Amino acid sequence: MKKFLIINGPNLNMLGLREPDVYGSLTLNEIIAHTETRVKDFGFDLNVEWYQSNIEGEIVSKIQSALSIDITALIINPAAYSHTSVAILDALKIVKKPIVEVHLSNTNKRDEFRQKKLTAMAADVIIEGQGKNSYLLALLSQLL
Ligand code: DQA
């Protein structure tokens, strides 16, 4: 069975409450349930580990832990750390598997400070602006 690790960065545990006009009204758990249901509808039976942390170093350690597990791809929404974290970029560069960076919103249409995405320099695929379908599309990008 194919295994995926999906890492979510700071404030994504607040989805549902957080700027619903930008990120939608679903909680992270509801997006997880939506993703798992829809991916099964597409006929895929996957082992997906979901991880969320508000702490940069914990995210770095989780990325490092992916080196010792057999994953098909690493999917990450680094959230605000995408725009600031050299440490997360450097950790992602160590990963030998495909990396998909996800943003629920289309950051290209947003603030100037969101235009720079350091972590995207390590990504093979970038999915933006797809809201609750973002993680589903990230998985499908590695399955189709
Ligand atoms: C985000 C976009 C980032 O700019 C922001 O800081 C987030 C969420 C997104 O999913 O659209 O926290 O990564």
What domains sit in the chain, N to C, each tagged with a CATH number? 3-143 (3.40.50.9100)
Percent of the chain with pLDDT over 90: 100
Q: Do 47 and 71 meet the contact criterion of CB atoms below 8 Å apart?
A: no
Q: How confident is the model at residue 6 (pLDDT cuts 50, 70, 90)?
A: very high
Using the atom order of ligand 1, give the atom closest to the CA of residue 128. Answer: 11
What's the token pair of residue 106? 């289309």
pLDDT in tens, 72-107: 999 999 999 999 999 999 999 999 999 999 999 999
Location of structure tokens 């770095």: 60
Model confidence band, residue 29 (pLDDT cutoffs 50, 70, 90): very high
User: pTM of the entire structure?
Assistant: 0.98
Helix axes 28-41, 134-141, angle to 10 degrees: 40
CA distances from 73 to 119, 130, 143 (A): 16, 19, 10
For residue 29, the tally of other CB atoms under 10 A from its CB is 12
Ligand 1 within 6 A of CB of 126: no
Whether 103 is catalytic is yes
